[in-house]
Chains A and B, each alone.
Chain A
């Protein structure tokens, strides 16, 4: 059973627009949540990590929120650039596992057009 669900599956925006990506999960107990950016056919690069019960982070044009009560996270990208075209992956760390198991969403494919 998929424990991390991301929406939308894909998204097309025009350069300069803002967008919001969603992540819902059922991992229990949850420890932390990370957002990764994956360029086509390449490795994953961490954008931000959220740890607290209700957390917010900001990293340049990327900002994220986490609500552990709702088991929900959002990733906001402001003033999108063509280079933002990528797949964005939500990953939840399992607090119950001493070995730091990670649960991956299938990703949201973002396409930024001129």
Chain B
């Protein structure tokens, strides 16, 4: 069973704080994604990557940076956190082929107070 591990699972920070969300997959997947999930919306793509050192901008990138340091590790950075970034964040990974299985982490609940 493919595994995607997110950490931390829960995080509370203050407005203006600096937060890093981590994601690791050990499936040798090419693609990794960061999404946020908010009530009334489908998952929205923040950033994604198709390999180490690569970064692509998603649909809601403002206020977020990301870095893919290795094939396994994809980080999401909030350098000046705002209350609007309070959300449930999911990391996902998949192989290159378009309709292959997508595997999700269990999510990180971030609260910015």
**Residue ranges of A at the interface with B (Cβ–Cβ < 8 Å):** 2, 4, 31-32, 34, 41-46, 49, 51, 89, 91, 93, 95, 99-107
**Residue ranges of B at the interface with A (Cβ–Cβ < 8 Å):** 4, 31, 33, 35, 40-45, 48, 50, 56, 88, 90, 94, 96-99, 101-102, 104-107, 109
**A43 pairs with B107, CB closer than 8 A:** yes
**A42 pairs with B31, CB closer than 8 A:** no
Instruction: Kindly report which residue of chain B lies nearest to residue A87, judged by CB atoms.
Output: B37
Number of A-B residue pairs, CB cutoff 8 Å, is 56
CA distance A91 to B104 in the complex (A): 13
**10 A-B Cβ contacts within 8 A?**
A32-B99, A41-B107, A43-B104, A89-B43, A99-B50, A100-B31, A103-B42, A104-B42, A104-B44, A106-B40
**A43 pairs with B90, CB closer than 8 A:** yes
**A100 pairs with B106, CB closer than 8 A:** no
* CB contact between A104 and one of B43, B88, B97 (< 8 Å): that residue: B43
Which residues in A have their C-beta under 8 angstroms from that of B33?
102
**B40 pairs with A42, CB closer than 8 A:** no
Most chain B beta-carbon neighbours within 10 Å: one of A42, A45, A102: A102
**A32 pairs with B98, CB closer than 8 A:** yes
* CB contact between A42 and one of B45, B94, B96, B107 (< 8 Å): that residue: B107
**A105 pairs with B42, CB closer than 8 A:** yes
* CB contact between B42 and one of A4, A34, A45, A93 (< 8 Å): that residue: A4
Q: Given contacts A101-B45, A102-B43, A102-B102, could you give 18 more A-B pairs where the C-beta distance is less than 8 Å?
A: A31-B98, A32-B99, A34-B102, A41-B88, A41-B107, A41-B109, A43-B105, A44-B90, A45-B104, A46-B102, A89-B42, A95-B98, A99-B48, A100-B97, A100-B98, A102-B45, A103-B42, A106-B41
CA distance A101 to B56 in the complex (A): 11
Contact A46/B42 with A41-B109, A99-B50, A100-B31 known, Cβ cut-off 8 Å: no
